[in-house]
Structure 1
Amino acid sequence: METEKLGLSSNEARKLLKKFGRNEISRRKKVSAWKILLAQFSSPLILILIFSAILLGFVSYFSSEKNLLDIGLIVAVVLISGISGFFQDYKAEKSIEAIQKMAMPKARVIRDGIETLIPSSEIVKGDVILLDEGSIVPADARIISSSKMKVDESILTGESHAVKKRKGDLVYMNTSVVVGRALAIVEKTGMGTAIGKIAGKLESMEEEKSVFYQEMQDLSKKLSFMVIIAAIIITVAGFFKYGLFNSILSGVALAVAAVPEGLPAVLILSLAAGSKVMAEKKALIRRLGVVESMGSVNVICTDKTGTLTKNEMQVVTIFSEGISFRAEEVNPEKNIELIKNFTLNNNVRETFDGKERLVGDETEVALYKFSKKKGFGKEVLEKSSKRIAEIPFDPRRAMMSVVIREGTLKKVYTKGAPEAVVRRCDRILIGGKVRKIRKKDIERILEANNEFASKALRVLGFAFKEVRGKIRESEAEKNLIWLGMAGMIDPPRPEVKKAVGECKSAGIRVIVLTGDNPLTARAISERIGLKSSGFVIGEELNHMSDNEISRKLSEGVNIFARLNPDHKLRIMSILKEKGNIIAMTGDGVNDALALKKADVGIAMGIRGTEVAKQASDLVLLDDNFATIVSAIREGRRIFDNIRKFVNYLLTSNLAEVLIIFFATIFLALKEPILLPVQLLWINLLTDGLPAIALGLDPARRDIMKEKPRKKSEHVIDKRLSAIIAAIGVKKTIILILTFLVTLHFYNDAVARTTVFTGIILYEFVRIGVIRSSENLGWFSNKLLLSALLISIVFQAIVVYTPLRTLFRAVPLGTGPLAILGVGVITGYASAIFITRTINTWFSGSKEITDEKNKE
């Protein structure tokens, strides 16, 4: 093409940009703010409250009694719940767009025959781009000329080693140039690139609803159905007792009592608080519901490079003078020529963009870091040493060499495959003296090389010689003096071993899914304490059925290597079919589909591509496996707390419903035992601050020593259902007795106010019982203690100030308060007994079931 020489003109580029669009990964599915807001009011429970307010307003319009306060409180509760939910969902939606809008790198192109720096989003098909070390490839392009070009394509392939590129080869958008330089002509941009096609598939995939989300939806529907039926019964029964207005008032009162108005808001705020805690621990939540899902994960499918490892090669072992040393044990004074070889026979460049950065092949970077740490950096050696020639690496020779001038002396430094380098050596450096190399020396070198290779180390051999006079290239790599070997590996992060052990204690299986070498994956797994019954590579998976893969997983194979994206999806699907809840990590475009399908998709924040982040539910800001374990701990804490406040709210609401139902059917009262305004106030006080504070309880000490909950296990399981029912009935009995005893000694107004206050006090007793069963002290959650005190103060204001007229309350003297005190003590003692009895019974049933399953 003509553009190969000159590139495009600015005018041509503008026309192509207008025709084909910007070079961006576009996000087609966007949700408007209005849709997010309206969705907050689509819950059946919220709709019941809205209908109750409308009905109350309609009746009030035709009645002498204007229940404006009741209507206002219902509307306020609906708005608070809806607006809090809107802000959380809108914030999550905006975070997705923010990721997409993150600044893309600049690109060097030839426009109008001149090298120009432009935003990569403005690149068009036909542009000629310039690539060199450290460049991010801005679009899919074909190389038209290159020099020693290597590209890191791990974001697409998962392969951690750089790939050589020659004239005619393709380079792909968002891959990075490790060494060398090239000119390339752009063939595809934006959604037409390899990355864009995967992003398009992500857009078309339906997002699966979490188990928790589905359960909350089901709970909402069931509660709504029961509320409607109960409200109708009460309204019909009340009509013959109270007349039309009071019967509707009773029905609305029951609806208000039954609906846990605070549940949606408390859920959202609890999850939001959990996401904030996770963010402080370097785990950024992109979808709020995933906070709870993290707690139920029982399989983590993790990449190796950068997640389990540091994502940087390091020299870990040196072989010198026939002995292997750990890197930190090496004495530089006794290995001067070897370490000088590391520095001088090296093409790494030091750059500064706010902080020091090394650009070059990862192996050479590792060697240079080691030598610089030992005091042999280029800034030191190049004062007395000057490179005068280089013999580049050639796969046929399996080595590279440089010629260095030191004063009047010339030296050749060679590095390469140990077996190739040692064949070029006729001497060896031992104890600072050069002697003839022997057969035993060579055998020991090759033996050490095999030993290093078996540990999945990348091994290089090093040699040198001194030269006087002229030197021919053909003679430079002959008659060398053997110096030693260096073994390198991308080592595991120091905190990962503990995290893997914690996963084991918590019943969480860790499976390595990598595009890298299986021996390297096995070596890393052994170092972090991850056991596996062998490994399976991608080529083998191609010839295996799903049943065979399932059998391998059942046999304890936890390492799968040389995988492509389809392999990862297949393994994850097989695991999910068996009822596992999967957390999948990934950083590259090749991981995006699997991230989208996983129960919890986890993208890498540092080295992750934007496509991977967009597909994920959670982004690790530090790319660290240990952060995943911290997030799981937080997820378990949140699930525990959700279960606690669901227990608390539903027990309270059940008691309120039963009290109204019993009083309407069996008691001869002129008005409902509790009015809508009183019930709304009760729910505001108890469903508000105390419930939110309960959702912030600290984690139990043994929370990571339990197995994950099963996919089939609900928030409200049989044990919790029994506790809610039993405590709800017990509470109803005590409050009805409290009402009757007070009514015997006082009038209707005092009895109603006593029950009004009693419900609030007994709900706080319920919190005490819940925390007692969790072995948590009152002072472990100071916010909860403050919330309870504030609620009691507000109730006292309603009862003992002029505000009482709005709530139809009267001041309570010592007599009614004494009756309440007896009820509180009785309620607490009986609740402790009931809770322990039910827990003991269900624990015994579980043990029997487990024994049967073992048999």
Structure 2
Amino acid sequence: MDGMARAKPWSQPWAISGPRTEDVASKATTATFTGGHVHRIGRALPDPGAVKASLLRMAALLGLGSAVVGLSALWHRQSAQQPVLALFSTAGEKSADADGPEGYPFMAMVSATAAQDPANDDSAYGGLEREGLYRMIERKDVDKLKGFGGVHGLLTKLQSDIVTGIDSASVKRRELYFGPNRLPEQDPVTFWGLVRDELGDTMLQILMGAAVVSLILGLTVPDPSTGEIEYATGWIEGAAILASVGVVTFVSAWNNYDKALKFAELNKQTAKKEVSVVRDGKRTRVDIAEVVVGDVLRIGYGDILGADGVYVAGEDIICDESAQTGESEPINKGADKDPFFLAGGMVTQGGGEMLVTGVGESSCEGKLSAALEVEKSETPLQEKLEELANTIGMFGLYAAVTTFGVLSLKELYMTFGLHAHAFYIKPFLDFLIVAVTIVVVAIPEGLPLAVTISLAYSMKQMQRDNCLVRVLAACETMGGANTICSDKTGTLTTNRMSVVQGYIGEQSFDLTPPHGFDFATVDQGLLALLCESVSLNSTVEQKVTDSGQKVWDGNKTEQGLLQFVVARLHWDYKSTRRAYSRDAKKQWPFNSSKKRMTTMVLSEGRSRIFIKGAPESLLCECTAYMNASNEEVSMTPEARAILEKSITTMASQGNRVLLFAKCDTSHTAIPDAEPEVDGLTCIALLGISDPIRPEVPAAVRQCQESGIMVRMVTGDNMLTAQSIARQCGIYQDGGLVMEGRQFRELVEQIPADNGHESEAFKDITERLQVLARSSPEDKQTLAQLLQEAGMVVAVTGDGTNDGPALKMADVGFSMNTGTDVAKSASDIVLMDDNFVSVVKAAMWGRNVNDNIKKFLQFQVTVNIMGVLITFLGAVSDQSNQSPLTPVQLLWLNLIMDTLAALALATEQPVEEQLLSRQPEPPDASLFTPRMWVNIIGHALFQIPLLLWLLTSGHELLGLENRSLEHLTVYFNTLILLQIWNQFNARKLHGETNVFEGFLENSRPHAAITLVMCAFQYIAVEHLGPFMGTTPLSLNEWLFCIGVGFLCIPYGFILNQLPILQFLEPNRFEAGLNNVAAAETVPIAESGDRTLQYRKDGATAQVLQSQNRRNGQQIVKETSKRKS
């Protein structure tokens, strides 16, 4: 700042010392090939094209047949993009590993090439090899590290440097020698493998076996009706069945293959993560998969380590390695403590840099992963549908056995009882084929397919809505969520922090428009003290992007503070930081329990501690303050009251308030642990604004209308939290606001037995809307209590300590800007950190459930109709012939399983419909009463209609009964009925207009419907011998379409039945329950605060919230509406 007095530096800037690698470019050397000899000039990497050309010349000059072999091997290695890393030995030299005989220089050179390939060369990187480095890390072998010369010796061997890192040109070479930072992928799913799996189905195998027997009998056994072998047509039925099985198999396999590819792509996206490394002397960000051995990797709080490594530098690094070592206690890392980092470990405190020593398969995590088998788990909805499929399959099996038995008895009676014809084996084979086909049709393979299609489609669409799904089941679960516990910062707010208010030098300032403040009225030395405190007690840095733009990198709150001192007070924070060497400064990161961050600096035998944090925890420790003249004076009750009033004023306007304090101590050295201070001096108060996202209030209101209660869980103080919650629409009349301390005391009042009936439990689960000054453990406890109340809970979080709460929740949402630990514990990552995306996830979850139910409604109708109509049609025929051939039944199966699943499972959500009803409980049945009415109603409509068409429809069309043309009309009408009925299946809640939103929200459905119609036309008109059909006239087509369309007006009538009030009961109550009779109940009591409310049946009045320390009273009035 201009004219501002600068704090005198206590020491000179520090620089990290350590071995530097020599410039690779300065040591670049080449080799030339002349006269069949190699002249070794240096060790640079030869150009692959030059090597190849030189070898060709040598082969021509020497005329050695072995040159062909050597060139071939080298060419293969170049084709595989494997660089040659060492030159060949000269004439007269012999490699230690060379296989070529002495005296044959070219043979020695070719052998030396393989020996000096970095994957085989033991002399590369000082003789280090990946297994040895892994054993050092895994065993935490300090002696072995010392044998390498410590960290600096290891850096030298790995050709790395603590300041300049590695040469980026060596990345490929390091990957070849030490391996890439990727675990071996599981064997990819292949299309032919899925075909093989489909053909492994028992029923399909039986059907194929029966088709083969039918094919043989058709060409060897006389037809019962003619007594002659039908060579021209006898093979058609068996071949058609085999072809149909092939089509069904290939279509199902392709769908599964496409699904596998989509999920593989999604898994790759979830695995992406950028880290910070030093290469070519510059700090750069690379994907974790591109990290190589020798990289100097920056690590920080909340990171999950993606590689093994050794400590280089850092501040109070603590790691959780329980998953790797079984040690339950966190481990302090340091040069004189435990210098080893294990891949997969979590950084729970501090940050610094490590030297990467093991990646991929050669890391601890890689070794552990190789020893584990990954079990595939199904989602809850898939498990439910599998049980349903088994039930339907048993129904089909019973129907098939009954059909086969009845038809066989009829055939035996006609053969031996009535002596109508001789005994033939082929009819029984036909009966078996029909029976097996019924089972194939009845088994709803499309159910799990519909789930996977819907989930894959929804996951892809959710990405566009900034929701990256990590756990498949979260899509389903979020559809039933009825409580969201949301963070404030960044989720409900923009996370763009700026200082807007403050108190310094015994005067308040307000920077919000139209206000302003002239900082020249504040003592410049006091401002310099504040700027020094902000600059040193922070980890944020300003960086310049490739485009030349200056951006802040780090914690958003600290960004706002540094922006304030840089832009408003014109302070050079970098100079302040450079004034203290590394050994003269130490930071203790923000601690959620103490609510503070501490930095200690040394200079000229003096030490000073800078602290910033929550005013309510720091103000009571302040025994002095800086007055307007920049003098340290004792804290008086009047001064404390003024500070408290300033805190209350800023917090009540929704600002986060931080108190900045200092303490001069007698320390002459920096201690390891955070020092205890006796008496702080208050420097200033700063109020930080984080504006609410403009779209949040509408999203919260939308949640409340859809039966989802939103609760805010934040670390801010009660006044700030209450103000923000009210602006968002979260805090409403009848709601309860409490602090974490009160919450914990209230939880303790819940009895172990029958706790759900206690007042404390009901207060938390029914009325709590805002939890302020909460810890991550409070969030986890809240989620657990809500689950015990039968609620489906979604929780948002971004910090490492949020991990348990995210795991505890039914659906955990992490922020894209959150820590690795939070992301790994979550089910869905919010790519834009926006609460609106949580609402979008709820909408898509409900859409997944709706789409599955639409398909379920359609398929069960077809199952009931198909099985019964096949049975009744076959039994009612005098010749025991089914009106539908096995090929036609398989075609029906293809339509209702694969194509209908694709059509109905990809319906787009209609937000106003999905978010205007209450969520369903997790134990809700797959079938609603309305669905059963639609299923049974349409089945009872289709079966009599088709029976009429089979027995009497020929008369209306002037056709011969059961002629090929009649049966073609029957088959065509049956299929078109199902195509039309798909429109009815689109609506689940009795809507009358089944075509509403079809073109807008169901474009895949529209396209697939056209494909179905086209396939049906081709099947009838052009695949007669194969499908058992004959071409139809235009009038017959119009008849089939018209009869099929009858299900649309019938569905309209079905939806008009006066049964809606009994079919869709509200399963969840949105909002709050009634309060009991009038009485005063304490809901939280601690050493300094008592909170009570009065129950009077209509309102709950918080009588008082009294701070016993200073007599301040805050009265809150709330009212509670009756349900």
Structure 1-normalised TM-score? 0.74
Deviation (angstroms), 1:446: 4.9
Partner of 1:106: 277
Deviation (angstroms), 1:269: 2.1
Say if 2:830 is the partner of 1:617.
no
Partner of 1:331: 516
Q: Bigger relative contact order, structure 1 or 2, given CA contacts below 8 A and separation 6+?
A: 1
Deviation (angstroms), 1:196: 8.1
CA distance in 2, matches of 1:130, 1:688: 50
CA distance in 2, matches of 1:535, 1:451: 18
- Find 1:703's aligned residue among 896, 911, 914: 914
- Find 1:19's aligned residue among 124, 135, 149: 135
Cα 1:246–1:349 shift into 2, 3 Å: closer
Say if 2:1029 is the partner of 1:809.
yes
- Find 1:356's aligned residue among 550, 565, 582: 550
Deviation (angstroms), 1:662: 1.1
Deviation (angstroms), 1:77: 1.7
Q: Deviations over 1:437-465 (max 9, x none)?
A: 999898645521344367673234799xx
Deviation (angstroms), 1:10: 6.6
- Find 1:555's aligned residue among 763, 774, 781: 763
- Find 1:529's aligned residue among 715, 729, 740: 729
- Find 2:656's aligned residue among 442, 446, 457: 457
Say if 2:394 is the partner of 1:225.
yes
Cα 1:640–1:43 shift into 2, 3 Å: farther
Amino acid at match of 1:285: V
Is the Cα–Cα contact under 8 Å of residues 492 and 696 in structure 2 kept in the other structure? yes
Amino acid at match of 1:585: T
Aligned length: 785
CA distance in 1, matches of 2:649, 2:358: 46
Q: Deviations over 1:116-143 (max 9, x none)?
A: xx9977589xxx9998999998899999
Q: Aligned ranges for residues 554-633 of structure 1 at < 5 Å? A: 554-556=762-764, 557-558=768-769, 559=771, 562-563=774-775, 571-592=782-803, 594-596=805-807, 598-609=809-820, 611-633=821-843
Amino acid at match of 1:228: L
Q: Deviations over 1:297-332 (max 9, x none)?
A: 223344455444455643243458856635344435
Partner of 1:447: 645
Is the Cα–Cα contact under 8 Å of residues 338 and 462 in structure 1 kept in the other structure? no
Partner of 1:365: 559
Cα 1:839–1:829 shift into 2, 3 Å: same
CA distance in 1, matches of 2:940, 2:181: 56
Segment drifting more, 135-144 vs 60-69? 135-144
Aligned residue for 1:702, secondary structure, equals helix
Cα 1:446–1:733 shift into 2, 3 Å: closer
Say if 2:969 is the partner of 1:754.
yes
Say if 2:203 is the partner of 1:48.
yes
Partner of 1:496: 696
Cα 1:138–1:834 shift into 2, 3 Å: closer
Say if 2:1018 is the partner of 1:797.
yes
Deviation (angstroms), 1:840: 2.8
Is the Cα–Cα contact under 8 Å of residues 315 and 327 in structure 1 kept in the other structure? no
Say if 2:993 is the partner of 1:785.
no
Cα 1:307–1:123 shift into 2, 3 Å: farther
Say if 2:926 is the partner of 1:715.
yes
Cα 1:673–1:543 shift into 2, 3 Å: same
Partner of 2:263: 92
CA distance in 1, matches of 2:889, 2:1006: 23
CA distance in 2, matches of 1:216, 1:75: 25
Q: Aligned ranges for residues 531-546 of structure 1 at < 5 Å? A: 531=731, 532-537=736-741, 540=745
CA distance in 2, matches of 1:45, 1:729: 35
Deviation (angstroms), 1:279: 0.7
Q: Deviations over 1:3-34 (max 9, x none)?
A: x9999x97789675231568999999986546
Q: Deviations over 1:198-220 (max 9, x none)?
A: x99xx999997543122111111
CA distance in 2, matches of 1:90, 1:600: 25
Q: Deviations over 1:523-571 (max 9, x none)?
A: 6544533334424448645786656985545314353865456x66555
Deviation (angstroms), 1:241: 4.5
RMSD of the alignment, in Å? 5.8
Deviation (angstroms), 1:87: 4.3
CA distance in 2, matches of 1:621, 1:221: 39
CA distance in 2, matches of 1:264, 1:33: 21
Q: Deviations over 1:561-606 (max 9, x none)?
A: 65456x6655544443443333343444544455455433433333
Partner of 1:75: 246
Task: Quote the sequence identity (%).
Answer: 22
CA distance in 2, matches of 1:542, 1:12: 57
Deviation (angstroms), 1:751: 1.7
CA distance in 1, matches of 2:1025, 2:689: 77
CA distance in 1, matches of 2:454, 2:490: 31
Is the Cα–Cα contact under 8 Å of residues 846 and 914 in structure 2 kept in the other structure? yes
Structure with the largest fraction of helix:
1
Is the Cα–Cα contact under 8 Å of residues 303 and 819 in structure 2 kept in the other structure? no
Structure 2 unmatched runs, 5+: 1-16, 21-124, 141-178, 220-233, 280-288, 323-331, 412-426, 589-595, 604-609, 663-681, 1075-1122
Is the Cα–Cα contact under 8 Å of residues 415 and 421 in structure 1 kept in the other structure? no
CA distance in 2, matches of 1:28, 1:119: 12
CA distance in 1, matches of 2:704, 2:628: 51
Is the Cα–Cα contact under 8 Å of residues 283 and 620 in structure 1 kept in the other structure? yes
Deviation (angstroms), 1:280: 0.7
Q: Aligned ranges for residues 56-71 of structure 1 at < 5 Å? A: 56-64=211-219, 65-66=234-235, 67=237, 68-71=239-242
Amino acid at match of 1:657: V
CA distance in 1, matches of 2:864, 2:870: 10
Aligned residue for 1:585, secondary structure, equals strand
Say if 2:449 is the partner of 1:265.
yes
CA distance in 2, matches of 1:393, 1:693: 62
Partner of 1:314: 498
Deviation (angstroms), 1:374: 5.4
Say if 2:437 is the partner of 1:216.
no
Cα 1:99–1:212 shift into 2, 3 Å: closer
Cα 1:204–1:628 shift into 2, 3 Å: farther
Deviation (angstroms), 1:730: 0.9
Deviation (angstroms), 1:522: 5.6
CA distance in 2, matches of 1:785, 1:39: 28
Is the Cα–Cα contact under 8 Å of residues 249 and 675 in structure 1 kept in the other structure? no
Q: Deviations over 1:657-678 (max 9, x none)?
A: 2211111222334531011212
Aligned residue for 1:837, secondary structure, equals coil
Partner of 1:115: none
Partner of 1:475: none
Cα 1:10–1:187 shift into 2, 3 Å: closer
Deviation (angstroms), 1:274: 1.1
Is the Cα–Cα contact under 8 Å of residues 283 and 621 in structure 1 kept in the other structure? yes
Amino acid at match of 1:457: R
Structure index of larger Rg: 2
CA distance in 1, matches of 2:1049, 2:577: 87
Partner of 1:679: 889
CA distance in 1, matches of 2:571, 2:489: 27
Amino acid at match of 2:762: S
Q: Deviations over 1:594-624 (max 9, x none)?
A: 5455433433333230x54444432222232
Q: Deviations over 1:337-358 (max 9, x none)?
A: 6897576763564222546343
Q: Aligned ranges for residues 365-384 of structure 1 at < 5 Å? A: 365-370=559-564, 376=570, 378=572
Deviation (angstroms), 1:723: 1.9
